[in-house]
Amino acid sequence: MLSTFGFLIALAVGLTGIGGGSFTVPVLLLLAGMPATGAVGTAFVFAGVLRLLAAPFYLLGRQVHGKYLWGMLKGAIPGLFIGTVLLEWMSDTGWAPLVVILLGLVLAASSAISLVQRMQRPHFAKKNAGWLPWLSLPIGIESGFSSAGAGALGTVLLLNYSELTPLEVVGTDILFGLALAVIGAAFHWSIGSISGPVLLQLLMGGVPGVLLGCAFARRVPVRRLKLVISTIAMLAATQLVWSGSRNLAANWPVAAPPAYPAVSIPSQPLPRK
């Protein structure tokens, strides 16, 4: 089952460049029953392998802008560390249902971002180049907490901030997501939150899926496909919020009834007057 989902997720990534973490984390949480940190860490490695397979196509075509890539990484890498530490801390404090709810909200927001209308502002980018690391800092925090969002949020940032062509935006964002995935996977590997068997099952379907998606990327209506993928991802994130809310309500401490003082009943009958 995980191999089938890995194939479908990787196919969506190969066709559109989005949907990796937004799909993988709900699948691992809801279907595989993994804890939040394990699901995020395993999704990081899975997304990194998918982007590693797609990156050479854009590097060979010289569709990666080094200046914008470095500017985004300067802000996103510290944010990635902050998001990872926040996820680990919240998971260790026993608020697992709340973490699932927050993951669902974050994934829904990152999926909805891909539907936002985009417009380029190259003049703003040239005058405010120093703001790029600060604008990418929240992307790193969001990615560290959920393993998702680097693709959708990075694309939106570049399309609204830079003068890059759409192909350069996709190529730069794929390298950006790849770098975050590698560093994020290293963070999670150090804390032991990556499941090797689950990752292997995902990759068995994911490797052929991403290659097939890249091969047919130019033959499908990408805009409509992104709408469908983003909608399904938001529904999956909504299911996470619902599941986490039910578990949180079930585990919520119930106040004990007030204790009344015990009334002693005499063993001997009272004397008659």
pLDDT tens-place string over residues 87-124: 888 776 666 677 777 777 877 776 676 666 555 555 66
Residue 255 pLDDT more than 50? no
Q: Are the C-beta atoms of 101 and 161 separated by less than 8 Å?
A: no
- Domain presence at residue 267: no
- Domain presence at residue 124: yes
| CA gap 172, 58 in Å, rounded | 8
- Domain presence at residue 205: yes
Number of domains in the chain: 1
pLDDT of residue 256: 47
- Domain presence at residue 269: no
pLDDT of residue 217: 67
Q: Which domain holds residue 89?
A: 2-246
pLDDT of residue 145: 79
- Domain presence at residue 258: no
9-27 pLDDT, tens digit per residue, is 888 877 776 667 777 888 8
Query: Which amino acid, one-letter code, is at 39?
Result: A
pLDDT of residue 224: 67
**Confidence band, pLDDT 50/70/90 cuts, at residue 203:** very high
| CA gap 130, 192 in Å, rounded | 36
| CA gap 150, 268 in Å, rounded | 80
- Domain presence at residue 171: yes
| Average pLDDT of the residues in 48-57 | 80
> In this prediction, what percent of the chain has a pLDDT beyond 70?
69
- Domain presence at residue 265: no
202 compared with 190, residue with greater pLDDT = 202
DSSP string covering 32-56, please? S---HHHHHHHHHHHHHHHHHHHHH
- Domain presence at residue 193: yes
Of 37-41, 56-60, 61-65, 266-270, which one has max mean pLDDT? Answer: 37-41
Least confident of 44-53, 237-246, 262-271: 262-271
Q: How many C-beta atoms surround the C-beta of residue 254 within 10 A?
A: 5
- With a CB cutoff of 8 Å and minimum separation 6, the contacts of 88 are 37, 191, 193
248 compared with 158, residue with greater pLDDT = 158
